[in-house]
Amino acid sequence: MAREERAAWVGLVVSLIAIAVYAAVVAGRAASTPLLEVDWLGPMLWTIIGGIVVSIVVTIIWGVVAEGGSLRGENAADERDRAITQMGDRVGVAFLVIGGVVGIALCAIDAAPFWIANTLYAGFALSSVVGGIARVVAYRRGLV
Amino acid sequence: MVKPTRVTNAIRELRTDRGLTQADLAGAVGVTRQTLIAIEQGKYSPSLEMAFQIVRVLDVPFDAAFQYPED
């Protein structure tokens, strides 16, 4: 498996886990606290930062195990990797835009910060997951 | 996302005729072996620049390596 494909898989799996952890923590807190009073900021920041750090660490470790950690050589990113990355970004960015627009609309109607923040987070999360799925599917099934 | 391409290629046959492995050709062109496999299997259409690099390494005319139907 080429380096960029490994990174695509790691990004997708870590994103799914981070989203699941965030949802579980917030849902758990909401069981004993009114939803709009739940402390969402800490779990959101920790799962975002943690997801990024874990993705980097796992990608590095997988690279070391698979190819001795070399950053060059036969597995360096090529034009197909760049095309797949760009395609994944194009697919994912639509959800970022939707999340942003809905977030603005929620601000306009003075919605609670909980809903605004979580709408924006949902946009990021969907962008990451759907873009990641598009990448791994392109690596497996082809991009022509 | 995955749309059919009408471009076909004979890279696999030309490569094996010359005794080159996938790693040999991929290295000469400067791509990963996975990308060369994807091209040979018709799962990725290379850029024009990469296509020229491939035919140069294989030392064949362009349309011996890549074909496009007339109609």
Q: Domain residues for B47?
A: 6-60
Would residue B70 count as lying in a domain? no
Backbone angles phi, psi at A47, to 5 degrees: -75, -35
pLDDT digits (tens), chain A, 144 positions: 888 889 999 999 999 999 999 999 999 999 999 999 999 999 999 999 999 999 999 999 988 888 775 555 667 889 999 999 999 999 999 999 999 999 999 999 999 999 999 999 999 999 999 999 999 999 998 886
Would residue B65 count as lying in a domain? no
Which residue in this structure is represented by tokens 């779990």?
A: A43
**Scanning every residue of chain B, which has its alpha carbon at the shortest distance from the alpha carbon of A134?**
B1
CA B54 to chain centre: 6
* Per-residue tokens: A13: 């799996």
Would residue B24 count as lying in a domain? yes
- pTM of the full structure: 0.84
pLDDT at A56: 94
Would residue B68 count as lying in a domain? no
Put simply, whether B43 touches A (Cβ < 8 Å) is yes
Strands (E) across chain B are located at 8-9, 66-67
| Cα–Cα distance, A83 to A71 (Å, whole number) | 20
Dump pLDDT digits (tens) for B17-65: 999 999 999 999 999 999 999 999 999 999 999 999 999 999 999 999 9
* Per-residue tokens: A14: 């870590």
CATH number at residue B48: 1.10.260.40
Look up the ipTM and state it.
0.82
Q: Give the CA-trace dihedral at A96, A98, A103, A109, to 10 degrees.
A: 170
- CB neighbours of A104 closer than 8 A, spacing ≥ 6? none
Would residue B10 count as lying in a domain? yes
**Number of domains forming the structure of chain B:** 1
Indicate the residue of A5, A74, A138 with minimum beta-carbon distance to B1: A138
